[in-house]
Amino acid sequence: MSHVLPWYVTGPLIGLVVPLLLFFVGKPFGLSSNLRHLCAACLPSRGVDFLRYDWRGESWNLFMMAGIAVGGFLSVTALGHDVSTALPSWATTGPGMIVLALAGVLVGFGTRYAAGCTSGHAIMGVATLQWPSMVAMLCFFAAGVATRFLLMPHLTLWLEGAS
């Protein structure tokens, strides 16, 4: 697969988010927290201690999240980037949508249980030499690689057959 941007442009630009956030916002990089903030802001939190905190104090991150969505929007509209491979071919089939929803549940549940995702652990945590983040990143990849080799061939075959 060919890419518009070379790795030495994409990678450093992603890494620069860390000092930019620290300088201009005074906060560490970490995006999955936004899912918690959205739950705390929008869903019933009565009796759920994990959702009873000052999420408004973290609203900068919700602005960051909104910005990412704007960036995605501009990439397609203003920059004309081709996103035809951005989601699997089965994403719009009935069974495919159920699989995507379940994948999302695993992402949301897993990142909160792990207290971080690719941004908070693999980039922010590893760049600051935090060993729990290194363990987290190894686990992300161990599970991802195992899933890719053991599950995805069967899942893809089944989903493409079902469409």
Partner 1 sequence: MIRNLSALVIGTVFGAVLTVGDVANWTTMQAMFAFEEAYMFLVLTSAIATAALAVVVIRRFSLRTVDGTAIVLPTKTFTKGTVIGSLIFGIGWAIGGACPGPIFALAGAGLAPALILFGGALAGTYLYARLHSVLPH
Q: Which of residues 32-91 bind partner 1 (CB under 8 A)?
A: 32, 34-36, 38-39, 43, 45, 48-51, 59-61, 63-76, 79, 81, 83, 85-88, 91
Q: Does 107 bind partner 1 (CB under 8 A)?
A: yes
**In the bound complex, what is the minimum distance in angstroms from residue 93's beta carbon to partner 1?**
10
Q: Could you tell me how many residues of this chain bind partner 1 (CB under 8 A)?
A: 120
Q: Contact, 121 vs 114, CB < 8 A? A: yes
- Tell me which DSSP letter residue 53 carries: S
Q: What is the 3-state secondary structure (H, E, C) of 87-135?
A: CCHHHHCHHHHHHHHHHHHHHHHHHHHHCCCHHHHHHHHHHCCCHHHHH
Residue 17 to residue 82: CA distance in whole angstroms: 24
Hey, what are 70's tokens? Answer: 């704007």
- Of 105 and 157, which has the nearer Cβ to partner 1? 105
**In the bound complex, what is the minimum distance in angstroms from residue 89's beta carbon to partner 1?**
9
One of 46, 94, 95, 140 touching partner 1 (CB under 8 A): 140
Q: Does 128 bind partner 1 (CB under 8 A)?
A: yes
- Of 23 and 161, which has the nearer Cβ to partner 1? 23
- Of 79 and 161, which has the nearer Cβ to partner 1? 79
- Of 69 and 161, which has the nearer Cβ to partner 1? 69
Orientation of helix 94-114 relative to helix 33-42, angle to 10°:
100
- Of 26 and 161, which has the nearer Cβ to partner 1? 26
